[in-house]
Amino acid sequence: MRLRPFRLAVMVSTLLSLPAQASAQGITSPQAVTRTHAQNYKDMVLATCLTQAYRSDTGVSTDAGSSISALRDWTYFDMDRSPDAVKSLVDSYLARDYSNPLVESEIKGVRFDFLKCMDLYHSKALDDLAKQLVIHPNRVYGHEYSSRPLAPGATAR
């Protein structure tokens, strides 16, 4: 059985997160309302990168695209400047050449797009972009609207 690179990456990340999932079994809603605007913005850029990298896989692109829409609701950022800046940053990371002859001999056409998106997510470039475009980066949506009840299972930190 041959696994597509993205599905393999999802399986590995799922296995690595099992201990965290065991402690969070009672949580049934997105936790983005408990994270800062800056963190949600960076998560949104990661989802954008995955959507772009796996646009031919409709399941991945639909799910990541829906997540982007949800994260927009919990993040304050400059919506005029952000789309072009994010597109440029994502395009620059996905254009990187991570070719590896040893891997290529076993898996033809591997692009390491997931790795590129993870490198983008952990980059200084994304940190700098978030500092430029996120309004009140350290605020938490759930704290700002604490009069509204949080989703079941969500706790503001």
Asked if 154 and 96 touch (Cβ cutoff 8 Å), the reply is no
Q: What's the CA gap between 76 and 71, in Å, rounded?
A: 10
Q: Among residues of the chain, what percentage have pLDDT more than 70?
A: 75
Write the burial class of residue 2 (CB in 10 Å: 0-12 exposed, 13-18 middle, 19+ buried): exposed
Quote the pLDDT of residue 107.
78
Quote the pLDDT of residue 1.
45
- For the question of whether the overall pTM of this predicted structure is more than 0.95, the answer is no
Positions of the chain with pLDDT lower than 70, given as ranges: 1-25, 144-157
Asked if 156 and 57 touch (Cβ cutoff 8 Å), the reply is no
**Residue holding tokens 């005029």?**
80
Give CA torsion, residues 64, 70, 75, 81, to 10 deg. Answer: 60
E strand or H helix that includes residue 10: helix 5-16
Tokens of residue 86, six digits: 């994010």
Quote the pLDDT of residue 6.
62
Quote the pLDDT of residue 156.
47
Q: What's the CA gap between 146 and 33, in Å, rounded?
A: 10
Quote the pLDDT of residue 109.
76
CA quadruple 52, 58, 61, 65: dihedral sign = positive
DSSP, residue by residue, 38-58:
HHHHHHHHHHHHHHHHTTTSH
- Mean of all residue pLDDT scores within the chain: 82
126-137 pLDDT, tens digit per residue, is 999 999 999 999
